[in-house]
Amino acid sequence: MGLFDKIKGEFIDVIEWTDSSPNTLVYRFQRHGNEIKNGAQLTVREGQTAVFIDEGQLADVFPPGMYTLETENLPILSTLKGWKHGFESPFKAEVYFVSTRQFTDQKWGTKNPVTMRDPEFGPVRVRAFGTYAMRVDDPGTFLREIVGTDGHFTTEDVTDQVRNILVARFSDAMASSGIAVLDMAANYDELGEKLLGRVHDDMEGYGIELRTLLVENISLPPAVEEALDKRTSMGVIGDLDRYTKFQTAEAIGDMAEQGGGGGDMMAGGMGAGMGFAMANQIGQAMSPQQGSSGGAPAPSGGAPPPLPSAPKFFAAIDGKQSGPFDATALRQQIDAGAVTRETLVWTEGMANWTAAKDVDAVAAMFGSAPPPLPPS
């Protein structure tokens, strides 16, 4: 081998890209004047595609592998250059390396709430967040539609557009799903699949494929979530009466602990007064409610107690116990002569049967009755 061939072999052109960054989608191979020598060695690694551009036109595309650049494996570029019998001198062309691997854990989410009609709550506003994985599926389309002449294109340059498409299609997917807001947590997978199907055509037009799309969270406005929390709390409490008694007892215990170390008499008096008030609340809470056991409700505030009822008397008439008689019925018995001053009577609270004349409440009823007729 001659000296010239040796020198020529040492200067064989090598075109390759070793990607060390985590987010580069497209890298333009740097070459002075974009000149590529005849017989140059092209290395395309797994997860890459090499695309040749001639004067702004898409030419040859190389999948992973090693290539010696000659007329035979550059058919489109040879046609554009007008090479009929091969070439010997360097030629100018731009080489773009496109990463075709998956880029995972890409974030998406709604900047503003999306309004939808819920079957239970009516019109509501919801936010949604999630992740997706994407890859460049068609390098030629991706270069034409998205990259242009950018020599270093990263995921950050395209994720905003992908997110905007996802958010725009999200409301349609939500509305068509017919899933209530409270049931969405159990249907995140279904919503993700619906959304993935709706953005397929949009992504295909950019040469991008979304491999997975996950809905991680759907949330309501804070005011609605607060109302739901209160509703849930009431369900957990269950028996409100028992819960009130428990809370009152806990408050008295806390008050006793706080007042134990104070030496101020006024503070102690206030604590005692509050303690009595709380004890009164416990008594009211523990007393049977009106209608629960048939008893009359305890008087509240300054209302007077109910009037006492008049006593009812039993009477020994013709050697038999009769009654009980209220005041009107007993007076009728007196007027009829069935009950005399000597008749034995008894009412609740008396120890023994007693003559009617010796019981004040009954004796008063004889005032207008005539005495018995004298014997003839």
**What are 153-193's pLDDT values in tens digits?**
999 999 999 999 998 888 778 777 778 887 887 888 888 88
How far from the centroid of its chain's Cα atoms is residue 142's Cα? 39
Helix-strand-coil split of the chain, %, nearest 5: 40, 25, 35
Q: Pick from 76, 106, 99: which is nearest to 147 by CA?
A: 99
Burial of residue 27, with CB atoms counted within 10 A of its CB: 0-12 exposed, 13-18 middle, 19 or more buried: buried
pLDDT higher than threshold 70 for residue 42: yes
**Cβ-based neighbours of 101, under 8 Å, separated by 6 or more:** 47, 135
Distances (CA, A) of 194 to 31, 187, 188, 218, 348: 46, 11, 10, 15, 83
Q: 41-44 and 65-68: which strand pairing? A: antiparallel
Spatial CA neighbour of 52 closest among 103, 91, 13: 91
- Would the pLDDT of 291 be above 90? no
> Domain spans of the chain?
3-99, 103-223, 313-366
The dihedral over CA atoms of 175, 180, 186, 189, expressed in degrees to the nearest 10, equals: 0
Find out whether 313 and 328 touch, Cβ atoms under 8 Å: no
* Residues 230-234, mean pLDDT to the nearest whole number: 68
Q: How confident is the model at residue 231 (pLDDT cuts 50, 70, 90)?
A: low
Give dist(CA 307, CA 320) in Å, integer.
32
User: Does position 207 have pLDDT exceeding 60, yes or no?
Assistant: yes
Give phi and psi for 337, each to the nearest 5.
85, 5
What is 103-223's CATH number? 3.30.479.30
For residue 141, pLDDT over 80 is answered with yes
- Is there a contact between 114 and 3 (Cβ–Cβ < 8 Å)? no
Per-residue pLDDT of 101-125, as tens digits, reads 999 999 998 888 888 887 777 888 8
pLDDT tens digits, one per residue of 300-344: 556 777 766 678 889 888 888 888 888 888 888 888 888 898 999
User: What pLDDT, on the 0 to 100 scale, is given for residue 263?
Assistant: 45
Q: CA angle, corner 46, sides to 106 and 158, nearest 5?
A: 30
Separation CA 169–CA 128 (nearest Å): 12
Q: What's the pLDDT score for residue 11?
A: 44
Q: Is the pLDDT assigned to residue 92 strictly greater than 90?
A: no
Phi-psi group of 102: left, alpha or beta (phi > 0 → left; psi -120 to 50 → alpha; rest → beta): beta
Q: What is the pTM of this model?
A: 0.55
| Pairwise pLDDT comparison (204 vs 88), residue with the higher score | 204
Distances (CA, A) of 215 to 16, 156, 228: 38, 20, 22
Look at 80-89, 133-142, 155-164, 223-232 and tell me which has the smallest mean pLDDT: 80-89
What's the burial of 322, exposed, middle or buried (CB within 10 Å: 0-12/13-18/19+)? middle
- Encode pLDDT of 335-369 as tens digits: 888 889 899 999 988 888 999 888 888 888 887 55
- Please report the pLDDT score of residue 39 as a whole number: 83
pLDDT recorded at residue 283:
57
